[in-house]
Amino acid sequence: MIARMWEVRASRGGFDELLSWVCDRALPELEVLPSHVSSEVYSSTDLRIVVITRWRNSPASLPAPPENLVARSPHVWDFTPVDR
């Protein structure tokens, strides 16, 4: 299992539109892929959106968001479970 965390900060005034883009356009493209397991979306009061997707193998990337909606490019990290 691989968890991919994708985080982006919205431009001022672009938060609602960026959140809609993530939920209505970007995630549906990933959620139909055979190796996709689950997705979660989080938001914060400082205009950040975090998406955590889980994959059986080889995680797919979210498409690039519309440039006018973001304050900076998204950051992406992959994680794997730790047996303890």
* Three-state secondary structure of 6-73: EEEEECCCCHHHHHHHHHHHHHHHHHCCCCEEEEEEEECCCCEEEEEEEECCCCCCCCCCCHHHECCC
| Predicted TM-score of the model (pTM) | 0.93
Residue pLDDT tens, the chain, 84 long? 999 999 999 999 999 999 999 999 999 999 999 999 999 999 999 999 999 999 999 999 999 999 999 999 999 999 999 999
Farthest CA pair distance, the chain: 44
CATH number for region 2-59+75-79: 3.30.70.100
